[in-house]
Amino acid sequence: MDSASSRHAAVTSELEPLSEFCKIAIVAALEREVWPLVKNWHSIRKEYDGRSLKFFEKGDVVVVCGGIGGEPARRAAEAVIALYDPALVISAGFAGALDPTFEVGQTFTARQVIDARDGSHIDWGSGNGVLISFSEVADVEQKAKLRRAYGAHAVDMEAAAVARSAEVHGVRFLACKVISDSSASSLPPLTRFASSDGKFHTLKFLAHIAVRPWLWARVQKLASDSSVAAGKLSVALAEASQAQVSEKVLTR
């Protein structure tokens, strides 16, 4: 089996259940970010705090997609911690590059997560680089400002909220992200099409784009880059999950 086939197998192969304690919860924003990983997993809807969430389960790993933004991510993290009692929570998904050397499809595990709302940060003692969570999809100018102000390497919208929930509950945390847009990428106006509960209204977005042909090229590039990023992220998550499960077995 060549290396590409081996990496694809890492995404689709089942993570064998090794111990009731080896449970990992992955919190993402949208299904499309992790679809190559979870497309063949068992899915189930569960209620928590008056909300219905969809969970993907396989072996010792559960994935929940809470929606776009900090508050939906927090609610998803609280739900998965309460319902599954995981040993580790991973905030996973797309991130925009602040560091010009970061390329689309590059995955990384952040050592430090900063909340741009108040400048607070959490350092988990492992991983590389600094990830900052910002309340909007950052444009090129905002990316440059965030890099100068915080020395961060990438920006997302959810990791700080998930990290805070994990810290409150005394659960180990990782932020595993993939670059979906470079530091020089100018994205379409995505945030305005996300509702308060984190859902992205695709039809409204497409209607907006349809009458603005000057945005078509950017949307096509975004779709292409997102597809690449989702595949790379799913490989990284499968490998990270297997490594963490093995670590937990060895240390108990």
- Domain span including residue 166: 3-251
Q: Residue 167 pLDDT more than 50?
A: yes
In total, how many domains does the chain have?
1
Q: What is the CATH number of the domain that holds 156?
A: 3.40.50.1580
DSSP reduced 3-state for 140: helix
Mean pLDDT across 84-102 = 95
Ramachandran assignment for 152, one of left (phi > 0), alpha (psi -120 to 50 degrees), beta (any other):
beta
Q: What is the pLDDT of residue 201?
A: 60
Write out pLDDT tens, residues 44-76: 999 999 999 999 999 899 999 999 999 999 999
* Among the listed residues 86, 23, 82, the one whose alpha carbon sits nearest the alpha carbon of residue 50: 82
Write out pLDDT tens, residues 238-251: 988 877 766 654 34
Cα separation, 78 vs 96, in Å, equals: 25
